[in-house]
Amino acid sequence: MTAASPRSTEHKIDPDMLARWSPRAFSTEIMPEADLLTVLEAGRWAPSAFNAQPWHFIYARRDSAAWDGFVDLLNPFNQAWARHASALVFIASNLTRADSKGQRLPVRSHAFDAGAAWSLMALQATKLGWHAHAMAGFDHDRAMAALGVPEDWRLEVAVAIGRRGDATSLPEGLREREVPSARKPLAEIATEGRFIA
């Protein structure tokens, strides 16, 4: 456990992984485009099946023409805090890929691969002094249409990125939850030989 984080691990891991967490209290600081593009660049380098890179990042920065429309796609709970973020990114994954003959084939790992991209984005944001918080709470159908996402793609998450702000900016029920969360014990999520609940 470090002074900067109440988290501790059962086995030694890189401290950057513990530094990453998903706050909801953001300042309204403007994020330089170069920082946002660096975060997206990290996601670009995620591993993927067949190197298909089945992800697409659709973003808006605070005070851009698209900002209010992006915030409006979130459910009311997430709008209440994410509207203070510096950037919003929707991550889409491609359900298919082209084989060597141009035939479209299903990609079973599309969501997994897009999740790998999100993970690298979150770590890169933290290394730059920003935080990222992924959300599944948005109007999926409306977002697909509003963002022009093709039918053979799926929106996986929306991500709020920003500098940590004062927890008092949050609705009252969220203020006490504004701390890095713990994790289940490793033995509860990892078993040798076969799945054991």
Domain at 114, CATH number: 3.40.109.10
pLDDT in tens, the chain (197 residues): 333 456 889 999 899 998 998 999 999 999 999 999 999 999 999 999 999 999 999 999 999 999 999 999 999 999 999 999 999 999 999 999 999 999 999 999 999 999 999 999 999 999 999 999 999 999 999 999 999 999 999 999 999 999 999 998 888 888 989 998 889 999 999 999 999 98
**Does any domain span residue 133?**
yes
16/134 Cα distance (integer angstroms): 18
Residue 197 has a pLDDT of: 87
Tell me the two tokens of residue 34. 């170069």
187/33 Cα distance (integer angstroms): 42
Number of residues assigned to the chain = 197
Please state the domain count of the chain.
1
**Does any domain span residue 190?**
no
**Does any domain span residue 193?**
no
**Does any domain span residue 177?**
no
Tell me the two tokens of residue 47. 């591993």
Residue 148 has a pLDDT of: 98
Residue 4 has a pLDDT of: 47
190/155 Cα distance (integer angstroms): 29
Rg for the chain, CA atoms, rounded: 18
**Does any domain span residue 140?**
yes
Please give the backbone phi and psi of residue 156, each rounded to the nearest 5 degrees, phi first. -95, -55
Residue 2 has a pLDDT of: 34
Which range marks the domain in which residue 96 is found? 30-165
